[in-house]
Structure 1
Amino acid sequence: MPRLLFFRHEAVRAVLCALASAALVLYFGAPYWRDHPVHGAVASLACGGFAASGALLATGGRRRRLTGWLLLAAAFCWPLAWLVSRDSGLGPSISFFGLYGFFVLFGTAILSYPAGRLRGRADWAWVIAAAITLVGGEVVFQIFTEPEWAGLPPTVTWPSGPPIRAVWDVGTRLQAAGQIVLALWFAGLLWRRSRWLSNLDRRIAIPVQVTAAALGLIPSIQAAVDPSTWTDLEQLQSFYFTEGVIALVVAVALVSGALRDRWWELSAPHRVVRITSSGTSVATVRIALADALRDGSLRLYFWAPSEDGWVDVRGRPALPGHTTAVEGDDERWRIAISGGQHPLAIVDVDGSLRRRPLLVDAVLRAGGQALLTAQLQAAASANLAQILAARARLEEKRLAERQRLEQELHDGAQRRLGDLARRLEGLTGDASDPAVGSVAGECRDEVLATVGELDALAHGLLPAALREKGLHGALAAVAARLGLTVRLLVVPGRYPAAIEATLYFAVCEGLTNVAKYAPGASVRVEVTLADHWLRAVVVDDGPGGAHPKPGGGLAGIERRARVLSGRATVESRPGAGTRLAVALPLDTALVAS
């Protein structure tokens, strides 16, 4: 309720400033408005709009204050320009300074919008150049010219000085060219600034920048094309009206932008509450905060007691410590949120939101309970990720043990049995007793059969082709050995040994079943990588009807896939072939989250 009352007071101040500025326009330009009431209405609306937007911005927070006061000053300079309608006194002389003062103040305000400050030397250079060209040039004009040259009656009060016609002739052309240069320069600065705007600022600043650039370019080009604008009072007043029409559009963009910006600041916390009320998952909380702050790059980190450190939304260790998370460069703003005795979360947002501390604080307060729930979920995901990682490490140890056994069989028993077989071969040929040679031959055959069995056992533990050639080479060798027609598509690359071995044995089981039950079927094997998941599919056009049996090969595939946090499915309708699919995550945190 206090915020709404404050907003209402801001509106009252804006209305009062708008009425005062509009009244001055009507008063100073009264001689012209009598014959052109529509022009008077447009000019008063435009000036009132500038004053209202300036008042809203000046009282809307520290970052808007400079822009607001500059717009207010410009809004009260604009009425002075209509003193040109007076036919005596200092009014016409002051009117030109009011006009150029309006453009300098207005341009400076727009360059500082919406950040509330000028950005770099280029902005300051434009402000200085505009003040010298417009205001300084007018001082020179009024000292060395006559009022009649500007289309004014001789009864007006004009600064005294020696009139020099050449100053007027050359000066008007130089000033027209200078105004076009300033307008183009101004438009270029606005275009450059638009690329740096955050998403939150872009929606309110772009309409203002486009209309402001038009306000600078169109009158400058019009005055350059028709030099009589500065020598004919009627045309000069019509020129002011054109500026007023464009200024009215700028004022509407400023007022609507200021109101929408203020409304967003008031409604953003409620948006967080509304989005998180439907569910408080980690993803929902991040979406709610990113939507309220209009920051698609927002990242969340949560404190995980089991890790004694920070984890990301998937439960993976992310940041080394609290200090690293809070200290950052100007492009990012990392906000630490405490949960009492322990840290709760870190919200990493775009650095431009530093200029909106009240909005960020209100949004984070509104999402405090949701962040607490999300932190518990992230901590649970971290615990689950540890369990899954431990299972994966166990599988890797089992695989390493298989490799060791294979190497020992190859280097030990197989080699010694091979030597024994060669000796028996020699004994078979050299034995003088046929009975001895026959027994030696039988022993040799038994030894060779044993070597073959050991070789098959070692091959079943982990084939050498898988280690040396990867999945594609190993699977191609299996297909050739089984005599199947296989269309093999395997994504290139090497992957963790446990992942490759599990996929290899799963595909081998599928191909073995095809060779056993549908030897004439055509087979398609695909191994793909997407979203950090490695997937293998074995599809045949055989008779189908396969289903996992307890203790069978297909059931073993499912069991081994679960060990690595993956999944395996078999689809085999009678007469429709069989489809075996295995998916394994390359990162167990994907499953934990």
Structure 2
Amino acid sequence: MPAASTPKPAARRQDSTAVGIAAAAFVVASVTALLYPLSEADPGVSSGVLYVLGVLLIATYWGLWLGLATSFASALALLFFHTQPTGSFHVTDGSDIVAILVLLLTACVGSVIADRARMRANEAEQRLLLEAELRAAEAERIRLEEVRQSRVRVVEATYSERRRLVRDLHDGAQQRLVHTILTLKLAQRPGQDEQARAELLADAISHAQAATNELRELAHGILPAILLRGGLEAGVDAVASRMPIPVRLEIVGRRFPPIVEATAYFVVAEALTNAAKHAQATRAWVNADVRDGRLRVEVGDDGVGGALAGGPGLLGMDDRVKAVDGELRIDSPPGGPTAIVATLPIPPADDA
């Protein structure tokens, strides 16, 4: 079925005008019904001030023209039902006609004042809404700019890391592997005695083992295999086991998208490393759970505190988190304790 169309502004204005006319008629009829039984107790028209209150109400909500129409309708109702003889427009007392004219003038002036107040209130409301929209737009612009800068820094850091890896591979593992190949070729040459061949083989094995260790260290710095195989819980457990201080873990036992797991893992690894090396902490803790479709990771320690959000380590952590549209909060007063909380969005398709 086709979706219901949104009412157009003109239709909404017509509805509002119709409601206003009905409200005005109701106000005039109600005040008349209230005053008519009192005509004996109040032979004059002084009680007609109630009509003015009704006019103010109508003008405040529906504007000047409906307020003026209600003013004239109120004056006619007062003239017809509250003068002598009852039930006619004949006025026997000249003071009544003066009072009715004063009442009409007062109601009209009140309509103008109420309409101006209504317009000022609407303008103030629109101004507040516009200011709120501008503040929200500015906040969003600042957030997007921070995300853009964070992603630029992440890209630059990734490029620098790639160059470092290429350099380390060339100067380290690659050279050792080349040396291993040359040594093995020397060992294959005819005429080598057994002792020389054994020494060459031992040297080749030594360099091959060293190259393996260097490659393992490089791979660990990129992304640990245990994180890829076992998820965040296994990866954080491996990081905590290498810390020189006890670490209490409460990690949600489920898998997340790779980018979410990797970001959370590096946040935990960096925070625990800072706690062990710089914070003089004696214990730390890591909590990770899902709240409102977002992964919340908290890392805390009982160290000396004073961690600066603009420091290289925490800035890089913040860049990683913002690059995936997450948020990072650092609470580290002097004297401690320190709490670092990263909130990472989980794509809906993967948040099963």
TM-score (norm 2): 0.48
TM-score (norm 1): 0.32
Q: Which has the higher contact order (CA 8 A, sep 6+)?
A: 2
